[in-house]
Amino acid sequence: MDISELELLIESENPVIVDVRKDFEYNSGHVPNAKNIPLSQLEERYAEITDGTYLICQSGARSARACQYLSTKGIDTINISGGTIAWNGPLEFTDRL
């Protein structure tokens, strides 16, 4: 799925979105309501992801790898090609001191 399709989906539904970028990348701006599970933590945290979850990263490469990994665990996810850099709407920011 490309980013424009996700933008339309967000307008009509409340999809579950997981951002697989590193913490500092996520904190510096992410798609609204996305949860952060860095790719480096996916092996330990994959049980937090359910079928139908949308995975996003910066461009779509890491989230594609995450989708492939989750498929081996029997979890059906959707990769967002284009990633956060293609997002046209406002980003959310996480303040961490």
Which pLDDT band holds residue 94 (cuts at 50, 70, 90)? confident
How many domains are contained in the chain?
A: 1
| Lookup: tokens for 46 | 């994959």
In a domain, 97, yes or no: no
67 flagged as catalytic:
no
Whichever domain contains 65, its CATH number is 3.40.250.10
For residue 81, give its domain range. Answer: 3-86
In this predicted model, what pLDDT tens digit does every residue of 30-85 receive, in sequence order? 999 999 999 999 999 999 999 999 999 999 999 999 999 999 999 999 999 999 99
DSSP string spanning 2-66? BHHHHHHHHHHS---EEE-S-HHHHHT-B-TTPEE--GGGHHHHGGG--TT-EEE-SSSHHHHHH
Out of 57, 66, 67, 78, which one is annotated catalytic? 57
In a domain, 92, yes or no: no
In a domain, 94, yes or no: no
In a domain, 96, yes or no: no
In a domain, 44, yes or no: yes
In a domain, 82, yes or no: yes
Instruction: Report the distance separating Cα 50 and Cα 77, nearest Å.
Output: 8
In a domain, 48, yes or no: yes
